[in-house]
Structure 1
Amino acid sequence: MSGNLLHVNATVTCPHGARATVLPAQARVVVSGNFAASVADQYTVTGCPFTVVNKPQPCVTIRWVAPSTRIRINGSPAVLRSSTGLCQSPEQVPQGPPNVSVVQQRAVGR
């Protein structure tokens, strides 16, 4: 499935509304003035309010499970707006898919 390439300043949130930040793994490929995002980047979620039976289970990371099948950035698959990901708790429990709401509009990939 095709989609716009994500960059490190794209707006990505967990299913509970907390914002994700990206620590880029590469500093060579630029899209709309920002480093392009790949699965090698570290995605950190902060401020997730999710709680299960009085036990906090916040989303803390995002793991992309279905990134681009054709585009590689320094050997790692690129992340597209249409890519499938999972937000995970500190115990690596899947919490749901991340929401991508703002992304650059020029570069499209598969």
Structure 2
Amino acid sequence: MSGKLLHVNATVICPHGAQATAVPAQGRVLVAGQAVTSTADLYTVTGCPFTVAGKPQPCVTIRWVLPSARIRVNGSPALPQSATGLCQSAEQIPQGPPVVTVVQQRAEGV
């Protein structure tokens, strides 16, 4: 599994189209002048419209389950564009995989 490395300003959305934002745990490892993200970072989702039987069940976080196998950022696995994650509701109910649409084009990892 390889791909371009995610950074804090990469465009990541939940399966329902809401924007996810990375809160970086580190600021030393940069790509294109922006902090590289890893499993240590908190990804929050805002504005998810998803409901189940009339009850709002919005995606609120992303948990990355299959990050880079080889690249580490301050000891935590880095997130390539091909990383697998799960968007979760506030009750930790899986809502589907996040979609990575825009990343930097210079650094690639496995």
TM range (shorter): over 0.9
2:27 match: secondary structure: coil
2:75 is aligned to 75
1:17 match: secondary structure: coil
1:80 match: secondary structure: coil
Please, which runs of 5 or more residues in structure 2 have no aligned partner?
none
Deviant stretches of 4+, over 6 Å: none
1:87 is aligned to 87
Q: What CA deviation, in whole Å up to 9, does each residue of 1:66-88 have, x standing for no partner? A: 00000000000000100000000
Compute the displacement of 1:91 (Å): 0.3
Whether 2:28 is the aligned partner of 1:6: answer: no
2:64 match: secondary structure: strand
- Where in structure 2 are the equivalents of 1:1-110 lying within 5 Å? 1-110=1-110
Percent identity between the two aligned chains = 74
2:47 match: secondary structure: coil
Hey, what's the Cα distance between the residues in 1 that align with 2:81 and 2:50?
24
Hey, what's the Cα distance between the residues in 2 that align with 1:80 and 1:34?
14
Hey, what's the Cα distance between the residues in 2 that align with 1:87 and 1:98?
6
Q: With structure 2 as the length reference, what TM-score do the two structures score?
A: 0.99
Q: With structure 1 as the length reference, what TM-score do the two structures score?
A: 0.99
Please, which runs of 5 or more residues in structure 1 have no aligned partner?
none
Q: What CA deviation, in whole Å up to 9, does each residue of 1:12-64 have, x standing for no partner? A: 00000000011100010001111000000010000000000010000000000
